[in-house]
Amino acid sequence: MELILITVAFIAGFLALKCQLPPLVGFLLAGFILHHFGFESTDTITTLADLGVTLLLFTIGLKLDIKTLLSKEIWVGATIHNLLSTLLFAVLLLGLKILGVSSLATLDIEQLILLGFALSFSSTVFAVKTLQEKGEMNATYGTLAIGILVMQDIFAVIFLTASTGKFPEWYAIGLFALPLLRPIMFKLLNKAGHGEMLVLSGIFFALVMGAGLFELVGMKPDLGALILGMLLASHSKASELSKSLFNLKELFLVCFFLNIGLADQPTIEGFVLGALLLLLLPLKGILYFVVINAFKFRVRTCLLTTLTLFNFSEFGLIVGGLAYKLGWISGDILVALAIAVSLSFIISAPLNRIGHSIYLRSAKWLKEQAAEKINTRDQFINPGEAQVLILGMGRIGTGAYDELYQRYGKVSLGVEVREEAAKQHREEGRNVIAGDATDPDFWERILDTAHVKLVLLAMPHHQGNQTALDLLHQKQFKGQIAAIAAYPDQLDELEQMGVNAAFNIYSEAGSGFARHVCDQLQPNLK
């Protein structure tokens, strides 16, 4: 059974990829098709799906700055949006009921509010996968979107606890001692090395210390995984740990999206109501834009955050499933929720893919904030008179910066999307600023390329480097451009796009190693 499910998911995901859609869209459609032919989810698929979500939240926590979560634009913005959208959706659903939509005829006002509450959430799984594929998890709009989603997860825990009447055990207070265990957890990570024990350590922290402990005391396991990730976020191996779990998490999430499609049998009534619920999606997006804009973020940040959150959430299915079990809603409502969630993913995927283009076309119609009033997290940057611009200050970018410094002195400026990393570089003596190189405003309104002779595209994600390269061409940059890539086909793409030099990071690492050995050891070879 599992082999058939995975085979169909693979074929559908591959076809979606060829249609320039995220594979997850194919996985959702595969689930619906399989369910139509009588297939159902299995315990194995469900278990793997749950593991995928747990590992996803754990890796989110590894990258989450608690100071970001506590900022007012996150917790106040998420709360305001949740309340406004719930009330607005409930009123509109009441209007549909009055107009005679049969599926809503038996629902009272409390049930309509519950349905509106379920539709107010956006998908954490979808948003994180979209941001990761674009390499923009650490962009300003990416961190803003993730922060809002984490707050929504907290709202979810509160709702699930209240609706089931199940409260945490009295000894759940012991979870407040988890921060005291951080030194021990840090030592374990230090001793874990870089291989399979590091992966196993991540699984242990996520599933046992996080999800397991929280479930033991009567709390949501996924929240435990998120909190454990946040506790480990400041460790030097946090990024490496997240990368080591990446492929495992991605594999399990295939089962998650497949499970959504397998959950219910689509019906005509369900499709009709699902399509009607989809009409609420633009209103949800407008509310996101208005709320975020109220905190003085730039139009681009507001728009891209809105597009990232422009979907319904799999949490809506959890709420609907619970309500169905309690007898609050009918099966048609649950089917409609599943269809609306799935269709919202299909709509949101291509919109996120062309998000930057949408911004460039719509920016002239949207009123920008005055420069002096822009939120401090979204301020413009000044590159000064640098001759070399290094975009992406990870290990490769840092190595390039240090090599250029030894050869030419202080001619380089590093651009790093993460403020914390940029600050660390400055403390180490490097000239690095925080900025998003995939941001059109970075090039159109900030960067003066008159002094720049060379740009190094050293960001870890190919799409991010491609986006920056496109923006450089739009700026009519006249200097030289070099870029990194991980695969031969990516090298070909970069060269076709006009870079002066493209380097395979793996082969170049080998060449650099050989040069270093020859310089240091000067072996007597013939």
Q: Are residues 46 and 154 in the same domain?
A: yes
pLDDT value for 200: 92
* Residues 160 and 217 grouped into a single domain: yes
Check whether residue 485 and residue 433 sit in a common domain: yes
* 115-119, 268-272, 276-280, 400-404: least confident range: 268-272
Q: What is the mean pLDDT of residues 317-330?
A: 72
- The model's confidence at residue 184, banded by pLDDT at 50, 70 and 90, is very high
Give the pLDDT score at 447. 56
How many residues are present in the chain? 526
Phi-psi category of residue 522: left, alpha or beta, with phi > 0 → left and psi -120 to 50 → alpha = left
- At residue 434, the 3 state secondary structure works out as strand
Within a domain: residue 249? yes
In a domain, 381, yes or no: no
Instruction: Give me the domain span that covers residue 392.
Output: 388-521
CATH number, domain containing residue 517: 3.40.50.720
* Contact present, 298 and 441 (Cβ < 8 Å): yes
Do 74 and 219 lie in one domain? The reply is yes
Phi, psi values for residue 360, rounded to 5°: -60, -35
pLDDT at site 239: 80
End-to-end CA distance of the chain: 61
User: Same structural domain for residues 292 and 427?
Assistant: no
**Per the domain annotation, does 108 fall within a domain?**
yes
Residue 523, pLDDT > 80, answer no
pLDDT digits (tens, 9 = 90+) for 20-50: 777 877 887 888 888 888 888 888 888 888 8
Asked if residue 144 and residue 277 are part of one domain, the reply reads yes
pLDDT tens sequence across 49-74: 888 888 888 887 887 767 777 788 89
Query: If pLDDT is split at 50, 70 and 90, which confidence band does 526 have?
Result: low
Number of domain units in the chain: 2
| Residues 357 and 400 both lie in one domain | no
In this prediction, residue 264 carries a pLDDT of 65
The per-residue pLDDT of the chain, averaged, comes to: 84
Asked if the structure places residue 100 within a domain, the reply is yes
pLDDT band at 478 (very low <50, low <70, confident <90, very high): confident
Q: What is the pLDDT of residue 166?
A: 62
Please compute the mean of the pLDDT values over residues 393-415 and round it to a whole number. Answer: 90
pTM for this structure? 0.72
Residue 125 lies inside a defined structural domain of this protein: yes
Same-domain status, 336 and 392: no
The reported pLDDT for the residue numbered 82 is 94
Dump the DSSP string for 348-396: HHHHHHTHHHHHHHHGGGSPPPPGGGS-GGG-----TT-SEEEE--SHH
The larger pLDDT score, comparing residue 367 to residue 198, is at 198
CATH number assigned to the domain comprising residue 315: 1.20.1530.20
Residues 356 and 435 reside in one and the same domain: no
Q: Is residue 377 in a domain?
A: no
Antiparallel, parallel or unpaired: β 412-416 and 388-391: parallel
Higher pLDDT, 9 or 102: 9
pLDDT at residue 384 above 70? yes
Q: What is the pLDDT of residues 200-235, one digit of tens each?
A: 999 999 999 988 888 888 887 878 888 899 899 888
Do 226 and 118 share a structural domain?
A: yes
Q: What is the DSSP string of 314-350?
A: HHHHHHHHHHHHTTSS-HHHHHHHHHHHHHHHHHHHH
Residue 439 has pLDDT above 80, yes or no: no
Tell whether 369 is covered by a domain.
Answer: no
Would you say residue 279 lies in a domain?
yes
Instruction: Give me the pLDDT at residue 448, please.
Output: 67
Looking at residues 486-501, what average pLDDT do you find? 89
Looking at the predicted structure, is the pLDDT value of residue 307 above 90? yes
| Shared-domain flag, residues 80 and 42 | yes
Residue 266: its pLDDT value, please? 67
Question: Same domain, yes or no, for 400 and 354?
Answer: no
